Amino acid sequence: MAGTELEILKGITLEIKSGESVAIIGASGSGKSTLLGLLAGLDEASGGSVTINGTDLGTLDEDGRARFRGEHIGFVFQSFQLLPALTALENVMLPLELQGHSDVTQKAEHYLRRVELDARMGHYPLQLSGGEQQRVALARAFASRPAILFADEPTGNLDSRTGDRIIDLVFELNREEGTTLVLVTHDSALADRCDRRLRLDGGALVKE
């Protein structure tokens, strides 16, 4: 109804330890994506606070949050979100360039090799399969060595075999890099692979 405020998330208190992997599960419309947006600093909460590595995201403006994301956060999205204008290699180089890293090409190549895309570095997203695109997205997410990786339904657009392969890669890389993982999914099997599962229902966390 027009003029009525909608409360999407209610009374959520949550602490995630460094190196932990957490799955947020719930039905469509339960507020998973909203929670992810807030945790990752993509959105501003109307109340409450989100603190990552001692930084209260609420005290930062959008540019401050952007810098924070660049330094500490990596993303993997359901729809890959690669820039179609850039090749696989350039897509991986992008966050490194944004943060002014040196040796961006070598670093990007390293991660693309790590996701077994040595032969596809010069290809554009449209020339890659869905699984390959998601592997580029993984390489891009890990290339800037984020402290925390947010994955939003990373297998949602993939068939189950490819999806499994991607998930294996996510967990492998997560272990190697010592990254904290926050995974949003409605796939229980996938959630089971995480250290902890959190269920959202009607915008509130419920016990399983």
Question: Under the rule (CB under 8 A), what is the footprint of another protein?
Answer: 33, 36-37, 40, 42-43, 62-63, 66-67, 69-71, 75, 77, 81-86, 90, 94-95, 97-99, 140, 144, 152
Q: How far is the CB of 147 from another protein (least distance, A)?
A: 13
What single string gives the DSSP state of each residue in 133-192? Answer: HHHHHHHHHHHT--SEEEEESTTTTS-HHHHHHHHHHHHHHHHHHT-EEEEEES-HHHHH
Q: How far is the CB of 108 from another protein (least distance, A)?
A: 13
Of the pair 145, 165, the CB lying nearest another protein is at 145
Q: How far is the CB of 207 from another protein (least distance, A)?
A: 26
Of the pair 75, 111, the CB lying nearest another protein is at 75
Q: How far is the CB of 125 from another protein (least distance, A)?
A: 11
Of the pair 23, 36, the CB lying nearest another protein is at 36
Q: How far is the CB of 188 from another protein (least distance, A)?
A: 22
Of the pair 101, 196, the CB lying nearest another protein is at 101
Of the pair 68, 164, the CB lying nearest another protein is at 68
